[in-house]
Amino acid sequence: MTAQDTSKDQKDREPASQNGACNDAPWLDPAQQPFIEIQSLTKRFGDFTAVDDINLKIYRGELFTILGGSGCGKSTLLRMLAGFEKPTQGRILIDGVDITDLAPYDRPVNMMFQSYAVFPHMTVEQNIAYGLKKEKLPAAEIKQRVTAMLELVQLPELAKRKPDQLSGGQLQRVALARALIKRPKVLLLDEPLAALDKKLREQTQFELMNLQDQLGITFVVVTHDQEEAMTLATRIAVMNAGNFVQIGSPSEVYEFPLNHFVADFFGSINIFDATVHSREGEHITVTLEGSGTQIRTRHAQPLASGSACMVGIRPEKLLISKERPTLEGHTVTSGVVEELAYYGNRSIYRVRSENGRLIQVSAQNYQRSAALLLEWDDEVFISWESSCSVVLTE
Amino acid sequence: MTTLANPGKRDRLWRSCVIALPYIWLLLFFLAPFAIVLKISFADPVVAQPPFTPFFDWAAGSGSRILATLDNYAFLLEDNLYWVSYLKSIKIALVATLLCLLLGFPMAYAIALAPLPWRNLLLLLVILPFWTSFLLRVYAWMVMLGKQGLINNLLLSTGLIDEPLQMLYTDGAVYLGIVYTYVPFMILPLYATLEKLDPDIHEAAADLGAKPLRVFYDVTLPLAMPGIIAGSLLVFIPALGEYVIPALLGGLDSLMIGRTLYDEFFVNRDWPLASAVAIVLLLILILPIMLFQRLQQKADT
């Protein structure tokens, strides 16, 4: 798999901006100067290649997320940006300056660690002031900036506390404040929300976005959590085995995944085997294995007629009903409800289709009685708009 | 089932027994001997069995009379010999502790940073010398350091020196012996402390602009302090009262208090004076430790 920026060729089918933190999409404008430029970066540990010849451009003010499972190389990439790992090959430029050979303490970059790494022997205030003290700034300025930062992360009343007297959420704020106080050009965040519980995560997520918007610092976030990546990011780079699999805005990687790996990484998806029937321009017609149903949808990558491929359709794009739907341009199949799960706001149905496949359907319970209409072993029809499906390669 | 909040009668009895055990231990093996030594230190020496006067005079007709005397303590103050050996002991113990720290810290840190499978092996190597008798190991040093010893022979044969160096029976040999013997007691608590440190903390300091030496001074050292203190006490306390090492490796002027104590007990058979020496030694040890703990408690609250 090669790393490629899918943004440009998907311009026509995707509105450029869908995230409040970024008013335009600088990555679509070839005249824009990248703020962080990673050039053929490689890191090997012995025989193991953690990061394999990566190229990446990140623009000023972006909240860029690198997403991948454990061992995909995302942390190594972040550590190379921070200066804790020396690249085997390649260069890193920030704001036009080559920082590849700079030590961590000389880089215009600060990092928020997954473990937070708050100094346990210093108070909150001392922790936050540490970076400024190393810059040998006058005491009065340090005091003033620390006070302002405590205000910003809403911790002023905890200034004199020691870290062991703080909750996880408070520690996270201290770590964030400590990394932000030096006004770095780039803030690196390693799994910033992983240690927080669900409620706190959602709240912190929005705070992080607001903070980034206020300060205009470029954020690079590393995470294994697709939900975190989706909500935070202006762009997501999906990483696997040391390479980028796809780079794009959250809705691009969700709605137009390039391949099975990306499609599967973001939420659930129903996969059907298919063969390519024909293509015309950006459209492709495929034949579903078994039912022989033909589906016509957009697909940018070249695929030869007759070659095998997959068709993916997200569970929430499927309609489920007892009567056969008669909608224009819909693909319809029938089946029997085998399992159902009620989540309150939605229900998940697993339907055994006529050709024996298990299809997952997620339905909004838009009416109070909606969830009660379908029962186990009910005969149902599943339909979807053909253009909602996506053609995937392995 | 009885809960912690409301223990049954049997549970309570059992718990009291468990708590009482260390106290009984301390009472039997520390406080009682201490009381006996304290008592003897207030007596006069006599040529008899036991070689000191009784604390109470039962024979003096009506009731008992306390026969305590502070003569022994007064004598300790008067005679230079005791002060000199106390000071010498403190000096040797302090310097040896410092040397152990300088040697032990990098070793402990290296073990803490070593890959996990290596650590146990390295720790095993640290305590390996304990598998041989301590006395034997000190004799081995005598063999190596002597005029005809291994080191002198080696240096002579390579032509680096023309005549054998006087290494045995010097203060240097005493330092060597103490550091060699006690450095594991420094390494083990230091390792326990350093091993627990979050490695990210050092990177965080570097990330915030601290150069490596600065990181060590700002982060590693303060966080290693509990280990440094524990290790230093574990080395300093036994080193202060050390008898065997200065007796075997030291010269005539390496007069440490352990030697003085031994001489008073077994050569002069002046048990009361020897007891007084021991009591003062104990005070020298306990006072700074208590003071330190007081400070520590204040800092914690």
In tens, the pLDDT along B104-123 reads 999 999 999 999 999 999 99
Q: Rounded mean pLDDT of B253-267?
A: 86
Closest approach of B97 to chain A, Cα-based (Å):
25
In tens, the pLDDT along B136-157 reads 999 999 999 988 888 999 999 9
**CA A322 → CA A355, A372, A378, A386, distances in Å?**
18, 13, 8, 20
Closest approach of A106 to chain B, Cα-based (Å):
7
Beta-carbon contacts of A388 under 8 Å, excluding residues fewer than 6 positions away, are A313, A314, A317
CA torsion, ordered B65, B66, B67, B70, to nearest 10 deg:
-150
Whole-number percent of chain B with pLDDT over 90: 50
Q: Are B206 and A103 an interchain contact pair (Cβ–Cβ within 8 Å)?
A: yes
Beta-carbon contacts of A67 under 8 Å, excluding residues fewer than 6 positions away, are A74, A223, A224, A226, A229, A236, A237, A238, A239, A265
| Domain segments of chain B as ranges | 77-300
Is the confidence at residue B60, as pLDDT, over 70? no
- Which candidate, B187, B213, B188, B186, places its Cα nearest to that of B202? B213
Topology of B77-300 in CATH?
MetI-like fold (1.10.3720)
- Residue B175, pLDDT score: 95
- Which candidate, A166, A169, A184, places its Cα nearest to that of A123? A166
- Which candidate, B247, B246, B254, B248, places its Cα nearest to that of B146? B248
Q: Which residues of A touch B223 (CB under 8 A)?
A: 120-121
- Residue A29, pLDDT score: 82
Size of interface A-B (CB pairs under 8 A): 60
Closest approach of A223 to chain B, Cα-based (Å):
17
- Residue B28, pLDDT score: 92
Nearest residue, CB atoms, B201 vs list A84, A114, A119: A119
Q: Which residues of B touch A119 (CB under 8 A)?
A: 201, 204-205, 219
- Residue B263, pLDDT score: 87
Closest approach of B78 to chain A, Cα-based (Å):
47
Q: Which residues of B touch A110 (CB under 8 A)?
A: 207-208
Q: Can you give the C-alpha Rg of chain A in angstroms?
A: 24
Task: State whether residue A120 sits within 8 Å of chain B by CB.
Answer: yes
Nearest residue, CB atoms, A121 vs list B208, B211, B223: B223
Task: State whether residue B214 sits within 8 Å of chain A by CB.
Answer: yes
Nearest residue, CB atoms, A117 vs list B204, B210, B222: B204
CB interface of A with B, residues 134-193, below 8 Å: 134-135, 178-179, 182
- Which candidate, A37, A91, A77, places its Cα nearest to that of A222? A77
CA distance A131 to A388: 50
- Residue B301, pLDDT score: 63
Q: Which residues of A touch B207 (CB under 8 A)?
A: 82-83, 104-105, 109-111, 179
pLDDT band at B7 (very low <50, low <70, confident <90, very high): low
Nearest residue, CB atoms, B209 vs list A82, A119, A135: A135
Residue that wins the pLDDT comparison between B164 and A117: A117
Give the residues of chain A that fall short of pLDDT 50.
1-23
Closest approach of B203 to chain A, Cα-based (Å):
8
- Residue A8, pLDDT score: 41
Residues composing chain B: 301
Closest approach of B197 to chain A, Cα-based (Å):
10
Task: State whether residue A130 sits within 8 Å of chain B by CB.
Answer: yes
Of the CA atoms within 13 Å of residue A268, those in its CB half-sphere come to: 12
- Residue B4, pLDDT score: 53
Domains of chain A: 20-108+184-263 (3.40.50.300), 268-392 (2.40.50.140)
What ipTM was assigned to the predicted interfaces of this complex?
0.81
Task: State whether residue B300 sits within 8 Å of chain A by CB.
Answer: no
In tens, the pLDDT along B24-42 reads 999 999 899 999 999 999 8
Task: State whether residue B209 sits within 8 Å of chain A by CB.
Answer: yes
CA torsion, ordered A241, A242, A243, A245, to nearest 10 deg:
40
User: Per-residue DSSP letters for B162-197?
Assistant: SS----TTSHHHHHHHHHHHHHHHHHHHHHHHHHHS
- Residue A9, pLDDT score: 41
